[in-house]
């Protein structure tokens, strides 16, 4: 009987401990779930007038953070505001920035057809650069007006056609801390004037990108020198056009290819660049 009583008593104590530990683990689990919910990345649609078009862009942010923080525009490739720029905006939000994926064409125009994409991009890039500058300026103004954004700390990143767009933003003398062009185009019909560029510039270029000639790249460097801009050009060996986009190969165009190493290196260069300009 005594043995049974002792065993029963010990089992009761063990059960109490098990219940306590179980309750503690359950509380910790629920707290983790609540914290994860609080830290969820949120997306909000924003509509505003952008030159000759109505833009339907997206603000992405981490709602667990309080106070104002730097804001970053994300300008897409010539396909329009598809899943890729939204993914990059989410990645930036996870780094603590407020990102805005920009509907640069307006009216939510998106395509997977290279001919259509080329026509839309050429209308602005090869055609009306003034309208292109108006549209990206409107996007920057909308980002600065977001209550989560510190308007004194903003940047813009762009891919391919988007890279050209953010370089035009810098050339225009916009009040933006920095711009990053990933496999963008460097030519312009309105070169930056001396002292005009206020933004710091980071250009990330694929060494095997056939869409930009050595002469165009040299002309860009000469332009930046004449403008007395604060700029740097990173060139990645073995990288073709669209080297940051994992879906680049789906287009079945020989000049387009994802390059994982160049993607990671250029993204790290961007993060280092942001730490410097937002210090």
Cα dist from 206 to 9, 211, 242, 244, 252, whole Å: 73, 10, 8, 10, 18
**Contact criterion met (CB below 8 Å) for 34 and 64:** no
Architecture of domain 40-277: 3-Layer(aba) Sandwich (3.40)
Domain ranges of the chain: 1-38, 40-277
The secondary structure of 107-150 as a DSSP string is TT-B-S-HHHHHHHHHIIIII-HHHHHHHHHHHHHHHHTSTTEE
Q: Identify which of 33, 145, 143 has the alpha carbon closest to the alpha carbon of residue 93.
A: 143
Can you tell me which residue has the tokens 């002469």? 215
Each residue's pLDDT expressed in tens, for the chain with a length of 279 residues: 343 434 344 555 555 554 544 555 554 544 444 444 456 999 999 999 988 889 999 999 999 999 999 999 999 999 999 999 999 999 999 999 999 999 999 999 999 999 999 999 999 998 889 999 999 999 999 999 999 999 999 999 999 999 999 999 999 999 999 999 999 999 999 999 999 999 999 999 999 999 999 999 999 999 999 999 999 999 999 999 999 999 998 888 889 999 999 999 999 999 999 999 998
Q: What is the DSSP letter of 248?
A: G
Q: Which residues are bridge partners to 43 per DSSP? A: 60
């Amino acid at each position: 009987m005594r043995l049974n009583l002792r065993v029963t008593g010990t089992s009761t104590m063990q059960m109490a401990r098990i219940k306590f530990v179980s309750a503690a683990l359950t509380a910790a689990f629920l707290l983790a779930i609540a914290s994860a919910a609080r830290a969820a990345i949120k997306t909000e649609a924003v509509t505003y007038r952008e030159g000759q078009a109505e833009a339907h862009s997206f603000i992405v942010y981490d709602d667990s953070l309080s106070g104002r923080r730097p804001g970053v525009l994300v300008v897409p490739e010539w396909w329009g505001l598809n899943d890729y720029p939204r993914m990059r905006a989410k990645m930036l939000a996870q780094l603590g920035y407020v990102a805005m994926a920009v509907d640069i064409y307006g009216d939510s125009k998106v395509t997977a057809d290279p001919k259509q994409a080329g026509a839309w991009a050429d209308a602005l890039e090869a055609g009306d650069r003034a309208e292109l500058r108006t549209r990206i300026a409107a996007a920057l103004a909308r980002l600065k007006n977001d209550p989560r954004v510190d308007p004194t700390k903003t940047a813009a990143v762009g891919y391919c056609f988007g890279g050209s767009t953010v370089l035009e933003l810098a050339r225009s003398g916009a009040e933006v801390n920095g711009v990053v062009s990933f496999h963008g185009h460097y030519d312009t019909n309105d070169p930056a004037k001396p002292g005009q560029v206020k933004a710091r510039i980071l250009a990330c270029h694929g060494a095997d990108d056939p869409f930009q000639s050595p002469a165009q790249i040299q002309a860009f460097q000469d332009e930046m020198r004449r403008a007395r801009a604060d700029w740097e050009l990173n060139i990645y060996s073995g990288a073709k056009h669209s080297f940051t986009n994992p879906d680049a190969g789906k287009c079945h165009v020989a000049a387009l290819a994802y390059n994982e190493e160049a993607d990671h290196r250029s993204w790290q260069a961007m993060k280092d660049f942001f730490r410097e300009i937002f210090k």
